[in-house]
Chain A
Amino acid sequence: MKQHKPYNLLNKAEPYLWILPSVILMAIFIIVPIGFVFRMAFSQVTKAGLVKGFCGFANFSKVLQGAKFGMVLKNTIIWTILVVVLSTVLGFILALLLNNEFKGRKIARAIVVFPWATTLVIQASVWKFIINTDYGALNTLLKSLGIIQQNVNWTPTPEAFFGWEIACGIFVTIPFVCFTALSGLQSIDASYYEAATVDGASYFQKLWNITLPLVKPSLTVATVLNIIYVFNSFPIVWTITKGDPASRTDTLVTYLYKLAFYNGKQGEAAAVSVIGFLILLVCASVYMVSTLKKGDE
């Protein structure tokens, strides 16, 4: 037995050694930068980017006392909830449609991927062009169809602008939800539906009692990832409005970008980043724990 001890030890250590490179890569590219952001958030940073030493919670208190932080946080929550919820609902419906057998299904699936496969900046630029008052595609189309005679200003208020940004966010997020849900749908054994049909279950009864519970794990993963992606999304808001006018369409990410690179307040920007990180951590954890618990029950 004694001769086998080193071999056993090696055997036990082997899995850990295999994941070691990933752990090291994560440490370097994720944990270390997060550590530096935390350090910066608690430091006095000059406009030239020099870290001048520990300043406690000074950056946090400046950010929290700022007149705009509350509004920006509210915008971020509205942006995240609307984009995640609506894209999940629409993406799931689209997945149900694409899960049916019909002619041209492969082409339809390929088309759904397009918004996801295109760079967000390009997507947002296209949306900005479509809704432009003076030379936008929407006005041109409606005029050529004779529906309108004069150009319509589709973005007369900051709220309208924000609404278009949310619409763009939903449009680019749907494909991800759709394909995650589709993968879940395809793994459901057809015999469940056959049995339910024999028992006389309606379409919605099957959807509610078979499809949804079995797709739930896929949708949970998609939702958690979406909360993180959408909360941290920068290109759409930045390309369309840069958070203007007067931060009415800013989210935390565009707000902190302006703080860091337009106002030169990198310490405060890092503090906003830490606040966002903590909010995400709590939201994602609560959602994940509650969903998985329900699943276990």
Chain B
Amino acid sequence: MAAITKEEFRAALAARHGEELQRKFDAASVAICGLGGLGSNVAVSLVRAGVGRLCIIDFDTVDTSNLNRQQYFPDQLGRPKAEALRENLLRIAPYCQIEAHALRLTDENIPELLAPYPIICEAFDRADQKAMLVNRVLETMPEKYLVAASGMAGVSSANEIQTRRVSKRFWLCGDGHSDVAEGLPLISARVAACAAHEAHMILRIIAGELEA
């Protein structure tokens, strides 16, 4: 039982953001593909802003190696990330509509699963999977807004992480080069900084601001 009514919760957000902006956040629908260090942090930022509807997708389960940077708790180890994150997000924002899918996105299922969501966030960890999703979305759904990320590993300055508008409806966040394949660690704050770039670009798109 939430300790705050839907109306009270919404009024608190509108008091912070202004009525006009909150109305846009309320009406927004976003799909987040991958719920690791990027996706789980993007999701938290979006529900805190009051985005009305989220689709969260990941085939994986919560592992001990995730706890340094991902928005899960030790008592959720072994559970599907989609389900565990949905619970955590509903504790933050009890009235958000969240569709959770514990499945692997592929060339075949991407167009159908992502069709209802005007804004898509790429938040995978593997480079080939990132490329697969980005290509599939740009090839088959050119009307979508797509925000992706590449390069957030290591201990280099977080100031290297940027958002770049690649084309009209495609933005890329990250430093562009720091690769886990080179043995670099994934550290909470730097990964979260990149996730915050993705989340903020998504909120800007919702607000009608399309420049990076």
Say if A and B assemble together. Answer: no
- A-side interface residues toward B, CB under 8 Å? none
- B-side interface residues toward A, CB under 8 Å? none
